[in-house]
Chain A
Amino acid sequence: EPEVTQTPSHQVTQMGQEVILRCVPISNHLYFYWYRQILGQKVEFLVSFYNNEISEKSEIFDDQFSVERPDGSNFTLKIRSTKLEDSAMYFCASRIDREQFFGPGTRLTVL
């Protein structure tokens, strides 16, 4: 059964450093999403992506964040200058119809 994959599973970085979180969505899916979950809190929407552009973003998704689908298979989330409060689990999701399929997540720890 096809699935969404994410790498790395855990990323540790220093405050101020850039990180790139990678996702490989299911191959025939057209809509892509990033969500995050701060430890002990609910899952929050960050951004949706369709037809090679951002379709919607939350207020969390400020200028420090960017997304890209560089090669037709990967879908990346970049944080340019990480802050302590960016520490969270980041989930990628994709869909073609009404159901979103989630990846296993990347745990980002900012020190």
Chain B
Amino acid sequence: AQSVTQPDIHITVSEGASLELRCNYSYGATPYLFWYVQSPGQGLQLLLKYFSGDTLVQGIKGFEAEFKRSQSSFNLRKPSVHWSDAAEYFCAVVRLNTGFQKLVFGTGTRLLVSP
């Protein structure tokens, strides 16, 4: 089935350490790609997006993501994590040529930041 996979349910990172959250998709053609962050009880905030072009995209809060077509991946990275980054992170895709472009979300990765 076509899907979005976030293989890590939980990740714990020390404050100041680097972070990489994994996302893979299984659609045949390259979709639009997004990363959202959700703090407890809050809504979805867009971190960054990829439509085409440069495969390394910069987002808000110091996050970046790299699209790798050969691996069908769009991993999220941050060089130095802050305690305020503790949240749930969702990768999402939009399949192209579907007309109305619904978002398909991964199951999320919960990031815990240790002192």
Contact = CB atoms under 8 A, between A and B. Distances in A.
Interface of B: 32, 36, 41-44, 46, 49, 51, 90, 92, 94, 98-108
A98 B101 contact: yes
B98 to A, nearest CB: 8
Main secondary structure of the interface of A (DSSP, over half): strand
Contacts, number: 53
A22 B100 CA distance: 21
Nearest to A6: B43
Interface stretch (A12-20, A64-72, A73-81, A99-107): A99-107
Contacts of A41: 107
Interface in A21-47: 31, 33, 35, 41-45
Q: How large is the interface on A (under 10, 10 to 19, 20 to 34, 35 or more residues)?
A: 20 to 34
Given A43-B44, A91-B43, A31 B100 contact: yes
A45 B94 CA distance: 11
B107 A42 contact: yes
